[in-house]
Amino acid sequence: MANHRFSSVSEEEPCCNISKKTQICLCVFFGLLIAVIIAVPVGILMWRPPLKQWKGEGTTAHLYEILLGRCYTYTQIVRPELGHKDCQKIVKAFTKAFLSKDPCSSTEQDYQPLMELTDEPVPCNKTLFWSKSSELAHDYTRVRQDMFTLEDTLLGYMADGLKWCGDPGSSEMNYHSCPDWREDCSNNSFSVFWNTVSKRFAEDACGVVHVVLNGSIRNTFDERSTFGRVEVFNLHPEKVNRLQAWVMHDIGSVHSDSCSSSSINNLKQILKRRSITFSCQNNYRPIRLLQCVKNPGHSSCGSYI
């Protein structure tokens, strides 16, 4: 009797008069339905409009970590006398200036909170500008540690050589591409940053200020460069006594420009109109020596090394 009852509810019996095949179909149907119910809202929540494509290279990989590391290196090791700086706060203000924003509509105001967190004094007579002479100017301040290029100050040190931009449709950085300042737009997050920090660097300069210029190119003083466009016009004549230019020629190059060339004369006239005295020296000897250290065998270095 017990055996009979057992066999009457055997597994072979379709439940509720539904065949096994129908049961499987229903399972698959409800499974798919649940998957769709979950996937659609998740998909909607996760969907991001594609990031805009630009002609310039994208944000430097690990930008946030690099900025943070450089901030700590600068404030703890390079210039500890600066006192406490909140690097976490500084890097947050840096990224906040451009994240979730149109990278072609960047403004000086975007970087204002960052500027306020990174105020840094440069002693009078110790500011060194450069234009088309990055390597040489930095070789010089590496030796003359009392002198400062923008990249020897906290913000310049943190940002030098990096690229960054955001996107209005995303809270992420755009690692694929960023606007090229020549081909896409001039008011891009990257250029506006350098214009803003270069402007403050020039506004803060006092006493005799210096600039290393490249006499081996045609436009030694380029009015469209950051130096020619921003820095020269933001020097304060009431506290800057003189601008001293050092026009350097590459070792072995055919000289193109010198202190007597028309582009340097143009710089002189601009400064005259701004009531700033100008002086110029070709191949300033201490910097020439550094060039010769890198080219010891060259005939033009014979008298030095």
Contact 108, 139 (CB under 8 A): no
Report the alpha-carbon distance of residue 158 to residue 111 in Å, rounded: 14
Nearer to ligand 2NF, 227 or 278 (CB): 227
Going by the DSSP 8-state scheme, the letter that residue 233 receives in this structure is G
Is 246 a binding residue for ligand 2NF by CB under 6 A? The answer is: no
Strand, coil or helix: 159: helix
286, HSE (Cβ side, Cα atoms, 13 Å): 9
Going by the DSSP 8-state scheme, the letter that residue 241 receives in this structure is E
Select from 38-46, 224-232, 234-242, 255-263 the region that touches ligand 2NF (CB under 6 A).
224-232
Report the alpha-carbon distance of residue 174 to residue 54 in Å, rounded: 10
- State in angstroms the smallest separation of the CB of 157 from ligand 2NF: 9
Contact pick of 75, 118, 189, 198 for ligand 2NF (by CB under 6 A): 198
Is 120 a binding residue for ligand 2NF by CB under 6 A? The answer is: no
Is 63 a binding residue for ligand 2NF by CB under 6 A? The answer is: no
Is 181 a binding residue for ligand 2NF by CB under 6 A? The answer is: yes
Is 160 a binding residue for ligand 2NF by CB under 6 A? The answer is: yes
Is 118 a binding residue for ligand 2NF by CB under 6 A? The answer is: no
Contact pick of 73, 95, 125, 225 for ligand 2NF (by CB under 6 A): 225
Amino acid at position 302, single letter? G
117 CB contacts (<8 Å, ≥6 apart)? 85, 86, 89, 90, 93
Amino acid at position 241, single letter? N
- State in angstroms the smallest separation of the CB of 45 from ligand 2NF: 37
Is 284 a binding residue for ligand 2NF by CB under 6 A? The answer is: no
Element (H, E) at 66: helix 63-73
How many residues bind to ligand 2NF according to rule CB under 6 A?
Answer: 18
Footprint of ligand 2NF on this chain (CB under 6 A)? 129-132, 134, 149-151, 160, 181, 190-191, 194, 198, 225-227, 231
